[in-house]
Amino acid sequence: MWFLLIFSITFTNLIPQSSANDSFCPSGWSFSLNTSYCYTVSSDSYTWSEAVNYCQSIGGQLVNVRSGREYVFLTQLTSQNLLQPWLGYSRKSDGNFYDLTGYSAYYAYWAQGEPSGNGDCVTFQGQNNTGLRVTPCYNIQPALCKQMPALCPNTTQYGGTYTRSGVITSPGYPDQYYNNLDCLYYITSPPGTYITIEFSPWVVEYWYDYVFLFDGPDFTYPYIGEPLGLYGKNSFESSNNSLTFFFYTDSIITDKGWQATWTAKANTPPISQSGLNGSLTSDNYPNDYDSYTERIYYISTSFGFKINLTITDFITEANYDVLRVYNSSTVNDNYLVANLSGSSVAPWNYLSPSNYLTLKFTSDGSVQKQGWSLFWFMQ
């Protein structure tokens, strides 16, 4: 009865489907979609401690059974075997059986009548009374090895000194990500910038699979947050030019995954002017402004007065390098008065409806021009 209960809990969930296959494993190993591990059974037979060494020598370890899915998979894998293969369990001084990483053998995976006193090591029985079976360690049996496949990207470094943006997707996106992932991502952007990142779409098993973001070059830096899809926010920013995150997934249930788009933003503080009059230019004027400029200009004058602003010179890349004018004290699209770009803007004159004006200049990565110059006075 306990047996049925455990399996019905585990398997009423979605069966994962992913695009991974044997090509994700070293040759001679088979990939299990149900567990996201690679497996192989040795053709030779060994004692238990020789089997431990054998699996290590080929890059894996003697199998432990970590889920109902893995149990079913092993039953299928070994159902035709004449010799029951070794698992990575052995009896410790407390009399109980533990795997090579120190986890105790889950009681539901033992064959009926086990664990018996018939030895101190464990094999897997794939037919009839299936499950873990205590076996003398000196027996000669095949080794059943497993290893993590290479499912995380083979690089962890993204961006760089000259890279302003990028797109990163979860492994297997947009089909299906894999179980048991712990993938790392380090993003760097040019000096003097900070990184904004947005996860969209975000289609990930709620709570059990997650991305954690950190504000710096590794995950010892402060935690920034995690995307939550419909349950919360999905965009984040770093305070400097590096960002780290990891994608962790548990052993069951996967989904489509995520796509993260990141952009470097110039860390340029806003410029504020107030008083009776003033003048402003784009950075470096009359030399070319920089690529990826993003700067805000706040103008204010005495309450009850207005701002008469005149642009005397204006040359930018049409449609891409834009000076936006807002009739408000902040950048707010509802108060956008003009998007100015190109070379036929100047002279341009505007009288604000109140004593505030805000301007924002942005440039893209290609084609820089001399920019703009303006003056304003209280009226």
Ligand X SMILES: *[C@@H]1O[C@H](CO)[C@@H](O)[C@H](O)[C@H]1NC(C)=O
Query: CB of residue 44 vs ligand X: minimum separation in angstroms?
Result: 21
Q: Cα–Cα distance between 64 and 371 in angstroms, integer?
A: 66
Q: Does 76 bind ligand X (CB under 6 A)?
A: yes
Which secondary-structure segment (H or E) carries 297?
strand 294-300
Site string for ligand X, 19-38 (x = CB under 6 A): x-x-x--------xxx----
Chosen residue from 203, 336, 345, 346 binding ligand X by CB under 6 A: 336
Q: Does 228 bind ligand X (CB under 6 A)?
A: no
Q: Does 241 bind ligand X (CB under 6 A)?
A: yes
Nearer to ligand X, 32 or 170 (CB): 32
Q: Per-residue b/e over 304-324, b at no fewer than 16 CB within 10 Å?
A: eebbbbbbebbbbbeeebbbb
Query: CB of residue 231 vs ligand X: minimum separation in angstroms?
Result: 29
Positions 127 through 166 that interact with ligand X (CB under 6 A): 127-128, 154-155
The backbone torsions φ and ψ at residue 86, rounded to the nearest 5 degrees and listed phi first, read -70, 145
Q: Does 249 bind ligand X (CB under 6 A)?
A: no
Query: CB of residue 290 vs ligand X: minimum separation in angstroms?
Result: 17
Q: Does 254 bind ligand X (CB under 6 A)?
A: no
Q: 263: which 2 tokens?
A: 């952009």
Q: Does 8 bind ligand X (CB under 6 A)?
A: no
Q: What is the dihedral of CA 42, 43, 46, 51, to 10 degrees?
A: -10
Count of other CB atoms within 10 angstroms of residue 263: 16
Chosen residue from 191, 220, 303, 304 binding ligand X by CB under 6 A: 191
Chosen residue from 41, 58, 72, 203 binding ligand X by CB under 6 A: 72
Positions 193 through 212 that interact with ligand X (CB under 6 A): none
- Residues in the chain, overall count: 379
Q: Does 221 bind ligand X (CB under 6 A)?
A: no
Q: Does 367 bind ligand X (CB under 6 A)?
A: no
Helix, strand, coil shares of the chain as percentages rounded to 5? 10, 40, 50
Which secondary-structure segment (H or E) carries 144?
strand 141-147
Q: Does 349 bind ligand X (CB under 6 A)?
A: yes
Query: CB of residue 1 vs ligand X: minimum separation in angstroms?
Result: 19
* C-alpha distances out from residue 171 to 49, 91, 230, 305, 355, Å: 36, 38, 21, 58, 53
Count of other CB atoms within 10 angstroms of residue 331: 15
Q: Does 276 bind ligand X (CB under 6 A)?
A: yes
Q: Cα–Cα distance between 227 and 238 in angstroms, integer?
A: 14
Q: Does 184 bind ligand X (CB under 6 A)?
A: no
Nearer to ligand X, 21 or 302 (CB): 21
Which residues in this chain contact ligand X in the complex, by CB under 6 A? Answer: 11, 15, 19, 21, 23, 32-34, 69, 72-73, 76, 127-128, 154-155, 191, 240-241, 275-277, 308, 310, 327, 335-339, 349, 351, 353, 377, 379
